[in-house]
Amino acid sequence: MKYESTRGTAPLLGFEDVLLAGLARDGGLYVPQSWPTLSRDDIASLAGLSYAEQAIRVITPFIGAAIPRDDLAAMVHDAYATFVHPAVTPLQQLAPNIWLLELFHGPTLAFKDVAMQLLSRMMDYELQRRGQRATIIGATSGDTGAAAVEGFRGREATDLFILHPKGRVSEAQRRQMTTVLDGRVHNIAIEGTFDDCQTIVKALFNDLEFRDRMNLGGVNSINWARVMAQIVYYFTAAVALGSPSRAVSFAVPTGNFGDIYAGYAAKRMGLPVDRLMIATNVNDILARVLATGRYDLGDVMATMSPSMDIQISSNFERVLYEGHGRDGAKISDLMSDLATQGGFALSNAAHAAIHDDFDASRTDEAETLGEIKRTLSETGMLIDPHTAVGVAAARKVEPSATPVVCLSTAHPAKFNDAVTRACGRQAELPPHLSDLFEREERYDVLPNSLAAVQAHIVSKSPMA
Ligand SMILES: *Cc1c(COP(=O)(O)O)cnc(C)c1O
């Protein structure tokens, strides 16, 4: 299996290089050169297997010979043993035709654990095989940083540096990062905003001398291996509900489009997926794209579902690429229009092709609170505000016999402010995190300065 860039000029790479590269050298995103497919029999034979066994069957075609089968199997089993539910991603029924796919039973209670637990193991494996080390750097507004810290703790070949904006992440989110006392995990609180953190991280990557010397690597959601790991639960959910004999639709709380793009990939692999419903909060750029065929940047608004507060939805580039007939030069043009003019128009054919697979729905703050309340009173279940945006969207999928699966992307206890506002009740942290607020914390506070962060990384790194 080879991978090509959505902007058409970067070299083709194998899985092991895509895993470590993240972004392509031409600024594009890597996608498989062609989609591997599973036959109806292959899909039917997933029924009844453990999550890890299904994962191995779904992802093996993307990895090919890059990782020997036994080593891959060991990593997959190890990654999903960190989840506290035996089904890893269990389904719950919410309404006659709506199911919740709970993706929050991993170490940090959000769906990002599903990919990060496997990505961190595969990166470490590949680095050790090459006899290399890497410095992994990321900026976080909460969930990604926590998942990265849990993923990379205890790994041998990586040093992780996570920047968060001081005082601007919730206490639970900060503690999930800062109570991991591992010598290779470094939390940095920046005296600034999330955008300041992201600007510093981008500048570190653009300093090519530093980048090469430290062998910088990224773990944001454009990494192909993260997408790949997320394809698995579309299969497990659909098979549990009767695929391949029965088609299934999905509603997905969406920000950077990594999660729902994995659903698109599952469909291209042969899973009978009917509708893919993009669920957005008031940051509704993707709903506007589907309605108008134009991608126009607006201002980011802060909401109760902060992991979806986004205007540039990076992974959307991958479906734009498919929609425009895999024309990398065209995507390059659109992305430079985005940078210079703040927007671009999809071709009519691309707009139609994307609409063939996707619908979109926007849910405002009042509706989000209303959905948390309604779900509690109808089912007794507490849901987090991201999931609530997804459930509101799931209710808008055209009624049919096709079941709708809403991806539940975070545990409600992670977003108790919204849960309490909606229904006057708090969700409890699960037992493995119940002492989170008593644990010892460790982090460094740095000014909003590239030079200060760079000097700090050098002082802590064994590679400097
Ligand atoms: C990251 C995240 C999302 C958005 O996922 P994307 O892949 O960026 O679309 C939704 N909900 C939660 C809780 C998240 O952490």
pLDDT in tens, 2-11: 999 999 999 9
- What value does the mean pLDDT take over residues 20-39? 92
- Residue-level pLDDT at 177: 96
- The yes/no answer on whether domain 91-109+225-423 falls in CATH 3.40.50.1100 is yes
Which atom of ligand 1 is closest in space to residue 386's alpha carbon? Answer: 11
Active site residues: 112
Question: Which residue puts its alpha carbon closest to atom 11 of ligand 1?
Answer: 409
Evaluate: CB of 110 within 6 angstroms of ligand 1. Answer: yes
The mean-pLDDT minimum among 41-45, 85-89, 397-401, 411-415 falls in: 397-401
Evaluate: CB of 108 within 6 angstroms of ligand 1. Answer: no
Distance CA 391, CA 371 (A): 7
* Per-domain boundaries in the chain: 91-109+225-423
Say if CB 307 and CB 141 are below 8 A apart: yes
Distance CA 430, CA 59 (A): 30
Q: How far is the CA of 61 from the centre of ligand 1 (A)?
A: 26
Among 227, 409, 419, the mutation site with the greatest number of ligand 1 atoms within 8 A of its Cβ is 409
Beta bridge partners of 353: none
- Residue-level pLDDT at 298: 86
Q: How far is the CA of 210 from the centre of ligand 1 (A)?
A: 30
| Helices 51-63/69-80 angle, 10° precision | 140
- Residue-level pLDDT at 249: 98
DSSP 428: P
Question: Which pair of tokens denotes residue 144?
Answer: 């990604």
User: Which has the closest alpha carbon to 416: 161, 135, 137, 109?
Assistant: 109
- Residue-level pLDDT at 459: 96
Say if CB 126 and CB 153 are below 8 A apart: no
pLDDT digits (tens, 9 = 90+) for 158-169: 999 999 999 888
Q: How far is the CA of 224 from the centre of ligand 1 (A)?
A: 16
Say if CB 252 and CB 278 are below 8 A apart: yes
Whether residue 142 has pLDDT greater than 80 = no
Evaluate: CB of 307 within 6 angstroms of ligand 1. Answer: yes
Whether residue 41 has pLDDT greater than 80 = yes
The mean-pLDDT minimum among 138-152, 228-242, 252-266 falls in: 138-152
Evaluate: CB of 308 within 6 angstroms of ligand 1. Answer: yes
Whether residue 170 has pLDDT greater than 90 = no
The single residue listed with the structure tokens 């509690």 is 376
> Mean pLDDT score of the chain, rounded to an integer?
95
Distance CA 253, CA 260 (A): 8
Tell me the DSSP string of 365-426: HHHHHHHHHHHHHHHS----HHHHHHHHHHTTSPPSSS-EEEEE-B-GGGGHHHHHHHHS--
- What value does the mean pLDDT take over residues 299-316? 89
- Residue-level pLDDT at 9: 94
- What value does the mean pLDDT take over residues 302-323? 92
Higher pLDDT, 86 or 199: 86
Cβ count near 208 (within 10 Å): 9
- Residue-level pLDDT at 341: 94
pLDDT digits (tens, 9 = 90+) for 218-227: 888 889 999 9
Whether residue 464 has pLDDT greater than 80 = no
Evaluate: CB of 256 within 6 angstroms of ligand 1. Answer: yes
Say if CB 404 and CB 394 are below 8 A apart: yes
Q: How far is the CA of 260 from the centre of ligand 1 (A)?
A: 9
Q: How far is CA 204 from CA 74, 144, 198, 434, in A?
A: 34, 19, 10, 36
Distance CA 421, CA 426 (A): 9
- What value does the mean pLDDT take over residues 98-103? 98
pLDDT digits (tens, 9 = 90+) for 413-442: 999 999 999 999 999 999 989 999 999 999
